[in-house]
Structure 1
Amino acid sequence: MWRDLRRVLGLWRAHRTLLLLGGLVACLAALAGVALLALAGNGVALGLHHGIAAAAVGSLFLLRPLILLRPVLRWSERMTTHAATFRALADTRVWFFRRLADRLPAGLGLRRAGDLLGRLVSDVEALDGLYLRALVPIAAAAVSVVAIAAILGWTSPALMAVVCLPLALALLLPPILAPVAARNAARVAEARGTLRAEAVEPLLGLEDVLSVNGEAAAAARLAEAGRQQARAERRASRASALGGAAGTVLTQLALLGALAWGVLAWGTGHAGDTAAQALLAVPALFLALAAAENLAAVPRAGLALAGAGAAARRLLDAADAPVPVAVPASPAPAPKGHAIRFEDVRFRWSPERPEVLDGLTLEIPEGARVALLGPSGSGKSTVAALLLRLADPQNGRITVGGTDLAAMAPEAVRTRISCLTQDARLFDDTVAANLRLADPAASDAALWQALERARVADLVRALPDGLDTRCGEGGARFSGGQARRLALARALLSPAPVLILDEPAAGLDVSAERAFLETLGEATAGRTVLLIAHRLLGVERPTRVLRMVGGRALPATA
């Protein structure tokens, strides 16, 4: 747990100045509270010993600026610590997203979408406990206890020991509670991830669930996940309650210790110093009250540490998955040409799965239009994945413009090669934002040009907000053919000279498929095109037709 938390703090290095400032202000606010109650206690003691007038002239005169300063420090603490936390968590989300993008370039694979969403949202949010509810409260409490020990030790070391010993024990509660709390927090985090997955996944495929009357089974799984989460949270709550009770008992012991000191001093002291010794208990009582306020959050700090540790472990577990594509330390520059060549390429997706490509040799000259045919599972889409560097071959090599893809950075490869997949997705954003995924700097004129080439510009002009019209989740605003043409416009917006069309008309009816493929033929003129399909309709006009057989590309026969 501690190693994971140290690594998270390392991710926040860019904000260390603001984080340290927030901790410093919190400590100053705690010291202001200690000073306020120390002066108040001293004033009461002076009033009891010398009279009310002496108290007013002495300690109470100093209370006025502290009464004003303390709320200002508290406000500054909240503003600074929360600003630092929000910035650090925002950076953590971006870091985690980029790590997932590097490790899941071909999609989620066997990972559950809801669970990853939980890690990206809930687990990152749980990390605020590391700073806001753990480090800052512990630092403020520790500073206040040290200040109280210094004040009481200057007047009476014995009284300091009586009051500060239980306070010091209260400071030890976080590391004492953390191991048990960490196990509970891990169970809670896992249960929350499962619950989110069971809620999200049926919604993503709701049409399929309803078509087989599977909503009852999905609801049952969701209910069971909810019960598991409730059990895990009850177990964690019991530990939290015990920790809070322990902290309260220890701070009350400090108060009782100060009170007992005063009573015993009054009953056993000599006439000359009885009153003086007894009156020392008054500021000690006030200081114990100040410590109780600052220590109230310490037991919960241990639980917050545990929760942050469990969240950090889940994040790092996903973020540290092996990278499927090695990035060279010194990437080769992008080649000038874009002719493609596969040289004796062998590939399988995992050691336990069969080989997909078995010595594939393939050439695609610049400007060629090659159709690659074959049934599902023959390796057609694997060819596209390797060209995009979503995976690397185990043997052989692939070159673009004479440069080995393995020597190029993946993002550089994708500036040369673009792809329109069979399940190209429109996101719940504007038409313009969806198109600019391919070229963030594209002007509106360039967007309209791409839409014209995809033969969907008239549709967008007729929309209520034109380019600013939202597409809906998964492009729900549009029909399948319309959404596919918008995805084509996005692919055409990319400046990449090589375009892969992986089953681009899948799911369309015959007439819509034919019309879309005719559009493709015209829109992709001047680019090198690799068309991946089960069959040809006769409107594609490729310069070469190949068929995948046994992991190899062979010339197609009639």
Structure 2
Amino acid sequence: MRHDVFRVLRLWRGHAGWLTAGVAMAVLSALSGVALLVLAARVISGAVAQGSGAPVLVVGFGITALLWLRPVMLFRPVARYLERLVTHEATFRALAQTRVWFFGRLAQRLPAGLGLRRAGDLLGRLVADVEALDGLYLRVIVPAAAALAVVVTMALVVGAASPGLAAILALPLAAALVLPMLLAPAAARAGAEVAEAQGALRSAVVEPLTGLEDTLAANGEARAAARVAAEGATLAAAQTRLARRAAWGGAMGSLLTQVALLGCLAWALASRDHAVATGLLAVFLAFAAAEALSLMPRAGAALAAAGAAAHRLFEAADTPEPVPDPSAPAPLPKGHALRLSGVTFAWAPDRPAVFDGLDLDVPEGARIALLGPSGAGKSTLAALLLKFAAPQSGSITLGGIDIATLAAADLRRRVAWLTQDARLFDDSIAANLRLAAPEATEAELWRALDRAQIGDLIRSLPEGLETQCGEGGTRFSGGQGRRLALARTLLSPASVLILDEPAAGLDADTERAFLATLDEAMAGRSVILILHRLIGVERPTRILRLVGGRAIPATG
């Protein structure tokens, strides 16, 4: 847990200014509360001294304290407001950076899979686990810093008059301050159980909803509900265990605070003369400490939860990259001819080889039709060409340069892939198209739509390019969605296009029309057309068939 927590703090170094300012404002706010009670104690002591005929100096201290009381009373709420403002701004900035960092790490690792088979669990790591990190700052670091400042200040103020009284006051409070940190390791296991149970519950909810039609068609809603209930009960039990540990920490912290208060009160009652004022001051400071330390009982549980969340984040983020970029990438070559020589590849050591000595040439401007049944390796070839995976032996070159020496981002600017399940996102048409070319103008968007032969349809829509596609492109039919995905691919500056079953799922007439569109739209680029079969409108320059992990010329 400690390693994960410190790694989070290193990740937040870019916002050190805001984080430090938040801690400073929390300390200032807490000390203003101490100052308020010190002044109140001085005013009361001065009044008592004036009534008992004490020296003028003591009475003067009370009058001076009375003069300072109002400004401090006005400053305290301002300090509390600034504390909330700055600490939450710091937290929001740090968490936003964490989400971007985590998403970037996932994007580098998704092609090989994260081992997270449950979408709800992955969503939980990206959302809930990141949000749980706010407790590390808001419920651990900030209150601990404020409480520490209060305890140290009280020890110095009271210690100047009576070291013995300072020990009675400060020692129980210091123990209450340290106690949550001592209890945190024991709570870490409960925190990990809560985090895992939350991920399991999200998966139990998300998976049947994602395939809701299948769930309902199979009368599986009762089983899905039972699974949700079971995972919910597991989560509730884990949360109960964590809350129980937090409650014990809170009870012990309150007990130690009361020990400090009663000790100071006993000192004041046993004192005589001017020592009564010091004892009374200590009592007031003990009340101030109770407020400053009130947030600490939750700190141990918050630290355990943040540690568990950080561990889950780093567990996913540290998955090895499937194909790491070279330390010194080579520049992109001028040409874009592709060549695979003796490529051997299997997705795992215990799985059969997909390719065994695969040789394939794709000259510049060629249009290769690659045929084969499901499982023959057609999509695996696309993954290799885009460095989503790397061959175990053999080489793949682009323009004569081994792609292993190229940065993946550079390679993917030269080679683009239209997948068989190309997805439209729940955003505008323009935003979906600009995924391939963020700086594309509206004229370029319309040109791509026209080349994909869907421009007239989009012009007929009331909102045009700002029309929302709906989740998964549900606003459009299968053929229309496929043409929009094609337009997005055409916007890419890539010289080589891999079209993976581009007409999958379309009816025969729509498939024929779409493939005819492809023939016109792909002019001037190298194309690898991955298909189960040819229907006669594709016009390839060469037809190959994947058989036994090799590419052989088709014979009709």
TM-score (norm 1): 0.97
1:300-339 mapped onto 2 (5 Å cutoff):
300-339=298-337
Distance in 1 (CA, whole Å) between partners of 2:135 and 2:116 is 30
1:485 aligns with: 483
- 2:71 pairs with one of 49, 65, 76: 65
Of 293-302 and 42-51, the range deviating more from structure 2: 42-51
Q: CA deviation at 1:107?
A: 5.7
Distance in 2 (CA, whole Å) between partners of 1:516 and 1:215 is 38
Q: CA deviation at 1:56?
A: 5.4
Asked whether the 8 Å contact 2:112–2:322 carries over to 1, the reply is no
- 1:104 pairs with one of 101, 110, 114: 110
Distance in 2 (CA, whole Å) between partners of 1:190 and 1:339 is 48
Of 464-473 and 429-438, the range deviating more from structure 2: 464-473
C-alpha distance 106-510 of structure 1, shift in aligned 2 (>3 A): farther
- 2:500 pairs with one of 481, 499, 502: 502
- 2:386 pairs with one of 382, 385, 388: 388
Structure 2 residues not aligned, in runs of 5+: 53-58
- AA at the equivalent of 2:411: V
1:186 matched to 2:184? The reply is: no
Distance in 2 (CA, whole Å) between partners of 1:310 and 1:15 is 22
- 1:211-252 alpha-carbon deviations (Å, 9 max, x no partner): 222222222111111111111111111111111111111111
2:55 aligns with: none
- 1:135 pairs with one of 131, 138, 141: 141
Q: CA deviation at 1:399?
A: 0.4
1:437 matched to 2:435? The reply is: yes
2:341 aligns with: 343
1:227 matched to 2:233? The reply is: yes
Distance in 1 (CA, whole Å) between partners of 2:115 and 2:342 is 27
1:32 aligns with: 32
1:269 aligns with: none
Q: CA deviation at 1:109?
A: 6.1
Asked whether the 8 Å contact 2:265–2:283 carries over to 1, the reply is yes
Distance in 2 (CA, whole Å) between partners of 1:108 and 1:425 is 20
Partner secondary structure for residue 139 of structure 2: helix
Asked whether the 8 Å contact 2:343–2:394 carries over to 1, the reply is yes
1:458 aligns with: 456
- 1:237-295 alpha-carbon deviations (Å, 9 max, x no partner): 11111111111111111111111112223xxxxxxxx2222332211111001111100
2:56 aligns with: none
- 1:400-458 alpha-carbon deviations (Å, 9 max, x no partner): 11111100011111000001111000000000000000000000010001000111112
Asked whether the 8 Å contact 1:11–1:92 carries over to 2, the reply is yes
- 1:31-67 alpha-carbon deviations (Å, 9 max, x no partner): 1111111111122122112239756522111112211
- 1:402 pairs with one of 400, 403, 415: 400
Of 141-150 and 250-259, the range deviating more from structure 2: 250-259
Asked whether the 8 Å contact 1:29–1:77 carries over to 2, the reply is yes
Distance in 2 (CA, whole Å) between partners of 1:281 and 1:7 is 45
- AA at the equivalent of 1:60: L
Q: CA deviation at 1:114?
A: 1.0
1:262 aligns with: 268
C-alpha distance 549-529 of structure 1, shift in aligned 2 (>3 A): same
Distance in 2 (CA, whole Å) between partners of 1:528 and 1:87 is 44
- AA at the equivalent of 1:45: S
C-alpha distance 110-292 of structure 1, shift in aligned 2 (>3 A): closer
Q: CA deviation at 1:208?
A: 2.0
2:98 aligns with: 92
Distance in 1 (CA, whole Å) between partners of 2:555 and 2:180 is 73
1:531 matched to 2:529? The reply is: yes
Equivalent residue pairs, number = 550
1:271 aligns with: none
Distance in 1 (CA, whole Å) between partners of 2:115 and 2:156 is 59
Q: CA deviation at 1:464?
A: 2.4
- 2:546 pairs with one of 545, 548, 551: 548
2:42 aligns with: 42
Structure 1 residues not aligned, in runs of 5+: 266-273
Distance in 1 (CA, whole Å) between partners of 2:113 and 2:7 is 27
Asked whether the 8 Å contact 1:145–1:291 carries over to 2, the reply is yes
- 1:497-548 alpha-carbon deviations (Å, 9 max, x no partner): 1000001111111111111111111111111000011111111110100011
Asked whether the 8 Å contact 1:106–1:385 carries over to 2, the reply is no
1:13 matched to 2:13? The reply is: yes
Distance in 2 (CA, whole Å) between partners of 1:95 and 1:291 is 39
Q: Which runs of 4+ in 1 moved over 3 A?
A: 51-56, 106-110
1:158 matched to 2:184? The reply is: no
C-alpha distance 460-106 of structure 1, shift in aligned 2 (>3 A): farther
1:171 aligns with: 177
Distance in 2 (CA, whole Å) between partners of 1:24 and 1:13 is 16
- 1:417 pairs with one of 415, 422, 442: 415
Partner secondary structure for residue 280 of structure 1: helix
- AA at the equivalent of 1:65: P
Partner secondary structure for residue 345 of structure 1: strand
Structure 1 vs Structure 2 CA RMSD: 1.3
Asked whether the 8 Å contact 2:368–2:543 carries over to 1, the reply is yes
Distance in 2 (CA, whole Å) between partners of 1:363 and 1:232 is 58
- AA at the equivalent of 1:316: F
- AA at the equivalent of 1:85: T
Partner secondary structure for residue 362 of structure 1: strand
2:4 aligns with: 4
Distance in 2 (CA, whole Å) between partners of 1:146 and 1:51 is 33
Distance in 2 (CA, whole Å) between partners of 1:315 and 1:80 is 26
